[in-house]
Amino acid sequence: MQRNARIFVAGHRGLVGGAITRRLQAEGYDNLLLAGRDSLDLRDRDSVEAFFTQHKPEYVFLAAAKVGGIHANNTYPADFLFQNLQIQNNVIDAAYRHGATKLTFLGSSCIYPKLAPQPLKEEYLLTGPLEPTNEWYAIAKIAGIKLCQAYRRQYGFNAISLMPTNLYGPGDNFDLNNSHVLPALIRKFHEAKLRGDAEVVMWGTGTPRREFLHVDDLADAVVQLTRTYEGEDIVNIGVGEDISIRELTELVKDITGYPGAIVSDTSKPDGTPRKLMDVSRLHALGWQARIGLREGIEQTYRWFLEHQADVRG
């Protein structure tokens, strides 16, 4: 991947796309094709076709998606399935037809069955029922994986699929209704501290375990594997360690300096009991995460404090 290659980062204003863009820029890639929703609607086939006709990207990072937490997935199942299918189908097909050298598709750990053995190995895909609270998003992502594999098999298109674990970091969505758990906790504790609240409510029992990867680590892995990985098989991107939601809540409380109590709202869903990625394949390919969880949350909290006026949510 030459430094002057035409590189399209789809979703460059989002958490993942933003991190990939920062990483590429830091490494001297200076011919990035960046288009926001105001000029390129990835859900619209004609809009995508016009973009690829004009710019002919050589490398495509497909990081654009409609994303959200349990509440958002439960509330907007049709949007999560249909819009993600539209985005994926349009971009993957256009990249192939317009001669892109390579496409990197970003999936999600939610593609794996709800009760799959832990840690989650890549071969567990499609071996059991999905977690009901996010199956719509998961089915769309599975379809994206299979489309990449199908285009590789039928047309020889060089498309790879990478499956990140739960992500967090600069540029995250801090909306309390549709964000993921870690940014929601950061905002909850920060605002509770400012208001002097006696307690903060934690959704669910706190017993589910989750793995968290800093988005800058993800971007490093994505760029490295785009350069070096040529396989059809999916690759998990994670740290290989997890933490309970209760432990995470206590950690965020400590980092934000909130002095009050934590109470559980067990009427809220827990989601999948555990979601730990097996990263043996990733390590064999020569990459390991470097940013520790406490260090990463501290950095993300500093970013949140510096960008409160314009954070999403």
Q: Which residues are catalytic?
A: 137
Query: Has 167 been labeled as part of a binding site?
Result: yes
H helices of the chain, in order, are 15-26, 45-55, 70-75, 77-97, 135-155, 181-195, 215-228, 245-256, 280-284, 293-306
Query: Has 169 been labeled as part of a binding site?
Result: no
Query: Has 166 been labeled as part of a binding site?
Result: yes
Burial of residue 267 (CB within 10 Å: 0-12, 13-18, 19+) is: exposed
Query: Has 13 been labeled as part of a binding site?
Result: yes
Q: What are the angstrom distances between the C-alpha of 221 and each of 177, 289, 303?
A: 30, 8, 22
Query: Has 74 been labeled as part of a binding site?
Result: no
Query: Has 40 been labeled as part of a binding site?
Result: no
Query: Has 193 been labeled as part of a binding site?
Result: no
Query: Has 312 been labeled as part of a binding site?
Result: no
Query: Has 283 been labeled as part of a binding site?
Result: no
Q: How far apart are the first and last CA of the chain?
A: 36
Pick from 108, 133, 238, 262: which is nearest to 185 by CA? 262
Query: Has 75 been labeled as part of a binding site?
Result: no
Query: Has 220 been labeled as part of a binding site?
Result: no
168, 297 Cβ separation under 8 angstroms? yes
Query: Has 106 been labeled as part of a binding site?
Result: yes
Pick from 241, 237, 242, 243: which is nearest to 279 by CA? 237
Query: Has 275 been labeled as part of a binding site?
Result: no
Pick from 153, 175, 168: which is nearest to 255 by CA? 168
Pick from 262, 279, 82, 69: which is nearest to 178 by CA? 69
Tokens 């740290």 -> residue: 239
Tell me the pairing of strands 209-210 and 243-244: antiparallel
User: How far is it, in rounded angstroms, from Cα 239 to Cα 217?
Assistant: 9
Query: Has 133 been labeled as part of a binding site?
Result: no
With a CB cutoff of 8 Å and minimum separation 6, the contacts of 269 are 70, 74, 133, 203, 204
Query: Has 203 been labeled as part of a binding site?
Result: yes
Query: Has 270 been labeled as part of a binding site?
Result: yes
6 is written with which tokens? 């035409």
Query: Has 134 been labeled as part of a binding site?
Result: no
User: What's the DSSP call for residue 195?
Assistant: H
- Binding-site positions read 11-17, 106-109, 141, 164-167, 180, 188, 203, 210, 270
Annotated binding site for substrate: 188, 203, 210, 270
Annotated binding site for NADP(+), which residues? 11-17, 106-109, 141, 164-167, 180
